A and B are shown apart, each in its own frame.
Chain A
Amino acid sequence: MLAYLGRRLLQSVAVTFVVLSLVFVAGRILGDPVRLVVGIEASEERVQRVREQLNLNQPLGEQYATFIGDALSLQFGVSFWQKVPALPRVLERIPATLTLAAAALALALPLGITLGALSALRPWSRVDRITNVISLGGVSIVEFWLALMLILIFPVRLGWFKTSGYGGIEYFVLPALTLCYKPLGRIAQITRSALLDELAKPYVKAARARGLKERRVVFVHALKNAAVPVLTISGDELAALLNGAIIVETVFGWPGIGRLTIQALERRDLPMVEATVFVVAIFIIVTNLLVDMAYTWLNPRIRFSAAGDA
């Protein structure tokens, strides 16, 4: 099992390198970053200064080495906009985004699994059809629109919660609700189909034949086996939440990474953009690693094939 996790860790390191390289390529090769930063009308002198500052006068290979070296020592340079090192600024914003993502997932996971399980237990029933409508809505809805609707209904009509800003629970509810609907829909759908698959398997019939309670057969045996695809989706959704945060944080004025990214892009703050991309990528990689670890617990065959291989 350790060998398996070790291998996954190595893969993650490789992925990190790929991400860094992409950031580098995107920032340097596709167009002149200096012009991007200073604007087209800036003086030649200013251009030269920024070029120096960004190390853009060296050959590409050296630039790359410097960039990777800096990134590994977590130096993304000084933000043009805020005139302070970029990374600490990005890290500051993490708690806000993470609380939002965690809240959204904490809502979506139990609700999605419950809805999916309800559907799977009575396929094609009325409950199933209603659940399907709900989850289909989640999968296909545009978050921007949902956010506006929620604002219209709650703060504007009913005077509940706050439309924008950071602070207590009243600021928190609407962005979390907006963000949770999409993962909820997907989790419900995947739970339904995975559970239906499992319930048709012989071990379920055999578990019933042993006189186990139906609750136990479904929620302990079938659900543990169905958890593998559900978990995969939840990992993906967590990654998507970090991206979804861009829209939701902007709409609700939530001071998280998403809003910071937009602001940095507007101000053409290259170091800041690089730092946000890097941090988000690391998050996604860590999430995947956690999901992998959970797999080994859920599926003993992974655990043992990996152990035998070591």
Chain B
Amino acid sequence: MAQQETLLEVRDLRVEFRTAAGLTRAVNGVNFTLERGETLAILGESGSGKSVSAQAIMGIVDSPPGKITGGSVRLQGEDLLQLDAEAMRQARGHRIAMIFQDAQAALDPAFTVGQQISETLRSGSALSPQQAEARAIDLLERVQIPEARRRVHDYPHQFSGGMAQRVMIALALALEPEVLIADEPTTALDVTVQAQVMQLLSELQAESGMGLILITHDLGVVAEVADRVAVMYAGKVVETGPIAALYARPGHPYSVGLMDSMPRVDRQEGRLLAIRGSPPNLMRIPAGCAFHPRCALAQERCMQETPALLPLPDEPGRHSACHFVADIPGRRRSELSAAPTGKSAASEEPLLRVEGLVKHFPLRSRSLLRRSPGAVKAVDGVDFELYRGETLGLVGESGCGKSTVARTLLRLERATAGRAWFAGEDLFALRGEALRRARQHIQMVFQDPYSSLNPRMTAGAIVAEPWEVHEGLAPRNEWRARARDLLQRVGLDPDDERRYPHEFSGGQRQRIGIARALAFNPQLMICDEPVSALDVSIQAQIVNLLQDLQQEFGIAVIFIAHDLSVVRHISDRVAVMYMGRIVETGTRDQIYNQPTHPYTQALLSAVPVPDPESELRQRRIILEGEVPGALDPPSGCRFRTRCWKAAPPCAQEVPALIDRFGHGHPSACLFAEARAPVPVDG
């Protein structure tokens, strides 16, 4: 940012949606500016109006039902909202471009990527088809797509998620825009691929000097790449400012809450600090400051008077919309915090022991004449133990077999090979009454709270249902009282027993799911990505809840997640999976402080750290490529195609998961060695 040149200036932007359900005020006064060469992050919970703001700037809000009701969007001085449709169309792509969260869906499946790039190029300039194709290949090379010359003829579905996002970037850059808006460009990708795509975006931005607006709800990503941040709440920007200052001294109570509810891979306070309550319904935005129902500093004035976005005294370039800004410093963290909790000591006999678990899914051949072409090796030799009252974090990228392990343990899938002992019994051999009992003792909490609750039953009935199925758990005349009690324990109102699932928010539904699991009186709870569909602020509430309940009831938990930061907070021990195998396992501290397997090391270093001053940035390992297909895994060590340490022996020998250092920290790498990519603070 050598010379300041304001590219984009958004003033008091407002967007409404008129639907049968009512008037949704999605954007209620958004203000920000973007300089040349700058990266501005727009941060906020789901539904805070980030995407709608971006679409309003691009002039692509669905209309009807949407309507831009006020404000201005000046691009290099010219108000885009005043342009006629044709002039606005010419500005799109040329001067201001956009990429989307799900790249695969944002590409037309019926045309090759080359056709789509050429079409875009030719819409803007008089190129011959041959010239356009040559340019398309250049562009694909620029976004580092291997074999661009060949791949230009491929269709979108032939690209992996990460590669499709690169294609999308190539498309957006085709006409060399001044401003690029990236709406959650990496949210749908695996952690290691996320890092590749973010790095590419930063490089391209540095090369071209364009302004980048990065929309995300991931504070880690923001800290990694942004120069400045705009925090949105209920359709408004409530704080803006340079990244370092804003992270160090958030200037709005909502920003304070966001910073504190974010799990961090480089910290392990016992509890996450959650923002209480949930985001507002945009049809009924609270009067005055929209944040007041959740704000610890709220006073009478906040309910009447809407705070304006004003400069912060003594802090150049920072703005905040809070009446009591002056009270924020000093009230940080401690205000909402609770004492960290310790773990009860693990008992002697493991509750669950899994040995050599294998699950292959044979591919059904679609032609009658040919034999089955092989099997997807979803789980390929997994061993672990779990003690009573302990939490095991199972982490790995999507598709590595985490959920399949869970489903075989629940006997929802039949294991191809291997054994499991649960409370001393052979789990896979159980049948009849014994199986019913085991099923009662092993409960599952699902990722998607929407689909796992029966929409026609009230919360009370959902929680009480297990008692109907498993007689003897609770006497009928106590059901109601117990259901109310459970709802209260998971942080809901006992009177919520009469409401139906759709009347709850995502986080509340997840609480109902947990209450229902607890109703079984389980010994083991398997949580499959229980928070990944939720917002950070809600995530923290649920993780804390799980932690409390586990303490209280002494339940063992298998916590499955792709998010290493969340796992760090809740786990006693961690197992890292890659392509159907555990590659490293150990206590939480061993895994996070001294990872020995190259994959764990890469995973840890790929996690964005929500601290712009963290030194981790320099030690980043960015993995090449993506996970190979599970149909035909690489010989020897399955990680070798992406491993920076790979050597010839890795292709021959399958590295066993053995304790290579003699301190109970097995690693499946021939060249395992400790490396501390993540220093522990405090």
Choose among A209, A214, A304 the residue that contacts B98 (Cβ–Cβ < 8 A): A209
The CA-CA distance from A224 to B112 in the complex, in Å, is 13
**Contact stretch, chosen from B103-111, B339-347, B409-417, B497-505:** B103-111
Choose among A201, A207, A211, A300 the residue that contacts B155 (Cβ–Cβ < 8 A): A300
Are B107 and A210 in touch, CB under 8 angstroms?
A: no
The CA-CA distance from A214 to B109 in the complex, in Å, is 18
**Using Cβ atoms and an 8 Å threshold, which residues of chain A touch B91?**
211
The CA-CA distance from A51 to B477 in the complex, in Å, is 80
Choose among A210, A214, A298, A299 the residue that contacts B171 (Cβ–Cβ < 8 A): A210
Judge if B652 is at the interface, Cβ distance under 8 Å: no
Are B120 and A209 in touch, CB under 8 angstroms?
A: no
Judge if A129 is at the interface, Cβ distance under 8 Å: no
Distance in angstroms from A243 CB to nearest chain B CB is 32
Within 8 A of A (CB), among B192-233: none
User: Knowing A203-B105, A203-B106, A300-B110 touch, does A209 contact B89 (C-beta < 8 A)?
Assistant: no
Are B120 and A210 in touch, CB under 8 angstroms?
A: yes
Within 8 A of A (CB), among B328-367: 365-367
User: Knowing A211-B89, A211-B91, A211-B124 touch, does A206 contact B107 (C-beta < 8 A)?
Assistant: yes
Which single residue of chain B is at the shortest CB-CB distance from A222? B108
Judge if B259 is at the interface, Cβ distance under 8 Å: no
The CA-CA distance from A209 to B96 in the complex, in Å, is 9
Are B367 and A3 in touch, CB under 8 angstroms?
A: yes
Judge if B60 is at the interface, Cβ distance under 8 Å: yes
**Using Cβ atoms and an 8 Å threshold, which residues of chain A touch B98?**
206, 209
Are A202 and B106 in touch, CB under 8 angstroms?
A: yes
Distance in angstroms from A6 CB to nearest chain B CB is 9
Contact with B along A229-261 (1 / 0, CB 8 A): 000000000000000000000000000000000
Contact with B along A289-310 (1 / 0, CB 8 A): 0000000001111001000010
Choose among B94, B124, B155, B171 the residue that contacts A301 (Cβ–Cβ < 8 A): B155
Which single residue of chain A is at the shortest CB-CB distance from B120? A210
Judge if A213 is at the interface, Cβ distance under 8 Å: yes
Tally of chain B residues near chain A (CB < 8 A): 36
Are B120 and A212 in touch, CB under 8 angstroms?
A: yes
Judge if A225 is at the interface, Cβ distance under 8 Å: yes
The CA-CA distance from A58 to B89 in the complex, in Å, is 77
The CA-CA distance from A208 to B120 in the complex, in Å, is 10
Distance in angstroms from B166 CB to nearest chain A CB is 15
Judge if B660 is at the interface, Cβ distance under 8 Å: no
Contact with B along A194-221 (1 / 0, CB 8 A): 0000000111011111111110100001
Are B109 and A300 in touch, CB under 8 angstroms?
A: yes
Judge if A7 is at the interface, Cβ distance under 8 Å: yes
Residue among A205, A207, A209, A298 with the highest chain B CB neighbour number at 10 A: A209
Are B110 and A224 in touch, CB under 8 angstroms?
A: yes
Are B93 and A211 in touch, CB under 8 angstroms?
A: yes
**Using Cβ atoms and an 8 Å threshold, which residues of chain A touch B69?**
none
**Using Cβ atoms and an 8 Å threshold, which residues of chain A touch B111?**
221, 224
Choose among B108, B157, B158, B175 the residue that contacts A211 (Cβ–Cβ < 8 A): B175
Which single residue of chain B is at the shortest CB-CB distance from A6? B367
The CA-CA distance from A309 to B371 in the complex, in Å, is 12
The CA-CA distance from A209 to B91 in the complex, in Å, is 9
The CA-CA distance from A228 to B155 in the complex, in Å, is 17
Which single residue of chain B is at the shortest CB-CB distance from A204? B108
The CA-CA distance from A127 to B584 in the complex, in Å, is 64
**Using Cβ atoms and an 8 Å threshold, which residues of chain B touch A203?**
105-109
Are B93 and A210 in touch, CB under 8 angstroms?
A: yes
**Using Cβ atoms and an 8 Å threshold, which residues of chain B touch A206?**
98, 100, 106-107, 168, 171
The CA-CA distance from A206 to B167 in the complex, in Å, is 13
Residue among A7, A224, A225, A300 with the highest chain B CB neighbour number at 10 A: A300
Are A209 and B367 in touch, CB under 8 angstroms?
A: no
Distance in angstroms from A146 CB to nearest chain B CB is 36
Are B92 and A208 in touch, CB under 8 angstroms?
A: yes
Choose among B90, B100, B110, B124 the residue that contacts A298 (Cβ–Cβ < 8 A): B110
Are B60 and A208 in touch, CB under 8 angstroms?
A: yes
Judge if B97 is at the interface, Cβ distance under 8 Å: yes
Distance in angstroms from B3 CB to nearest chain A CB is 28
The CA-CA distance from A208 to B171 in the complex, in Å, is 12
The CA-CA distance from A205 to B63 in the complex, in Å, is 12
Are B120 and A211 in touch, CB under 8 angstroms?
A: yes
The CA-CA distance from A7 to B366 in the complex, in Å, is 10
Distance in angstroms from B462 CB to nearest chain A CB is 32
Distance in angstroms from A17 CB to nearest chain B CB is 16
User: Knowing A224-B110, A299-B110, A309-B367 touch, does A202 contact B123 (C-beta < 8 A)?
Assistant: no
Contact with A along B60-95 (1 / 0, CB 8 A): 100000000000000000000000000001111110
Are A214 and B158 in touch, CB under 8 angstroms?
A: no
Are B120 and A304 in touch, CB under 8 angstroms?
A: no
Which single residue of chain A is at the shortest CB-CB distance from B112? A300
Contact with B along A43-70 (1 / 0, CB 8 A): 0000000000000000000000000000
The CA-CA distance from A300 to B158 in the complex, in Å, is 10
The CA-CA distance from A212 to B60 in the complex, in Å, is 12
Within 8 A of A (CB), among B143-176: 155, 157-158, 168, 171-172, 174-175
Distance in angstroms from A217 CB to nearest chain B CB is 10
The CA-CA distance from A304 to B365 in the complex, in Å, is 15
Choose among A7, A202, A216, A301 the residue that contacts B367 (Cβ–Cβ < 8 A): A7
Are B108 and A207 in touch, CB under 8 angstroms?
A: yes
Choose among A202, A221, A298 the residue that contacts B105 (Cβ–Cβ < 8 A): A202
**Using Cβ atoms and an 8 Å threshold, which residues of chain B touch A221?**
108, 110-111
The CA-CA distance from A298 to B108 in the complex, in Å, is 12
Which single residue of chain B is at the shortest CB-CB distance from A227? B110
Judge if B190 is at the interface, Cβ distance under 8 Å: no
User: Knowing A202-B100, A206-B106, A225-B109 touch, does A213 contact B367 (C-beta < 8 A)?
Assistant: no
**Using Cβ atoms and an 8 Å threshold, which residues of chain A touch B453?**
none
Are A202 and B60 in touch, CB under 8 angstroms?
A: no
The CA-CA distance from A210 to B139 in the complex, in Å, is 15
The CA-CA distance from A107 to B645 in the complex, in Å, is 67
The CA-CA distance from A278 to B263 in the complex, in Å, is 70
**Using Cβ atoms and an 8 Å threshold, which residues of chain A touch B155?**
300-301, 304
Besides A211-B124, A212-B123, 20 more A-B contacts (Cβ < 8 Å) are: A7-B367, A201-B105, A202-B106, A203-B109, A205-B100, A206-B100, A209-B93, A210-B93, A210-B97, A211-B93, A211-B94, A214-B89, A224-B108, A224-B110, A224-B111, A225-B108, A225-B109, A298-B110, A300-B157, A301-B157
Closest 7 CB pairs of A and B: A211-B93, A211-B92, A206-B106, A300-B155, A202-B105, A210-B93, A209-B98
**Chain B residues engaging chain A, CB cutoff 8 angstroms:** 55, 58, 60, 89-94, 97-98, 100, 102, 105-112, 119-120, 123-124, 155, 157-158, 168, 171-172, 174-175, 365-367
